[in-house]
């Protein structure tokens, strides 16, 4: 496995984020330190796979503390082509783009519906249990 010193998003651009050691979760960097913001390149995963000549991935795990929806938008081509076997992402009603009051809110129901169109069946992870949420298993209570 190769580690890339990049931020993931829905497009390739520059972002400003608190600097932290590779592998640290962003909320720890934001809440627990007084580090200077770092100017970092953000890329879409579609673009990263193209630049690195990667054909497929067994697992893509996304945990961006509320920006997961943007990362998913930046990998539409990979998902549409079935080049990712398994996908894991985090949601939180009060985090980033999932928040109901966010001006650019992304909706979980639309995300799950889009993933199903691409052939991915979604599950909600609760402890050690998985509950299906795609298609007929969807409940508006999840929004």
The pLDDT tens digits of the residues spanning 100-129 come to 999 999 999 999 999 999 999 999 998 899
Angle at 102 between CA 5 and CA 65, to 5 degrees: 30
Where residue 31 falls among pLDDT bands split at 50, 70, 90?
Answer: very low
Residue 7 has pLDDT above 50, yes or no: yes
- Is the CB of residue 123 less than 8 Å from the CB of residue 135? no
CA dihedral angle for residue 67, residue 73, residue 77, residue 83, rounded to 10 degrees: 40
In whole numbers, what is the pLDDT of the chain averaged over residues?
A: 84
Give the pLDDT mean for 31-58.
Answer: 80
Residue 30, pLDDT score: 41
**Predicted TM-score of the model (pTM):** 0.80
CA pair distance 92, 83, nearest whole angstrom: 26
Residue 15, pLDDT score: 76
Residue 95, pLDDT score: 85
The residues spanned by each domain of the chain are 7-106
Q: Measured between alpha carbons, how far is residue 12 from residues 31, 37, 112, 137 in Å?
A: 26, 18, 24, 35
For the chain, list the strands marked E by DSSP. 7-8, 13-18, 37-43, 57-62, 84-89, 123-126, 129-132
Residue 71, pLDDT score: 94
Higher pLDDT, 8 or 20: 8
**75 secondary structure, DSSP code:** T
The pLDDT tens digits of the residues spanning 54-88 come to 999 999 999 888 899 999 999 999 999 999 999 99
């Amino acid at each position: 496995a190769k580690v890339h010193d990049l931020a993931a998003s829905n497009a390739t651009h520059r972002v400003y984020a608190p600097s932290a050691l590779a592998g640290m979760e962003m909320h720890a960097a934001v809440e627990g330190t007084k580090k200077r913001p770092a100017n970092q390149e953000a890329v879409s995963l579609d673009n990263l796979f193209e630049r690195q000549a990667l054909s497929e991935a067994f697992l893509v795990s996304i945990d961006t503390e509320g920006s997961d929806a943007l990362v998913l938008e930046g990998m539409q081509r990979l998902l549409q082509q079935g080049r990712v076997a398994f996908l894991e992402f985090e949601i939180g009603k009060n985090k980033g783009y999932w928040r109901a009051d966010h001006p650019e809110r992304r909706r979980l129901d639309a995300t799950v519906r889009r993933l199903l169109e691409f052939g991915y069946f979604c599950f909600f992870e609760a402890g050690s249990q998985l509950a299906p949420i795609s298609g007929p298993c969807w409940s508006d209570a999840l929004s």
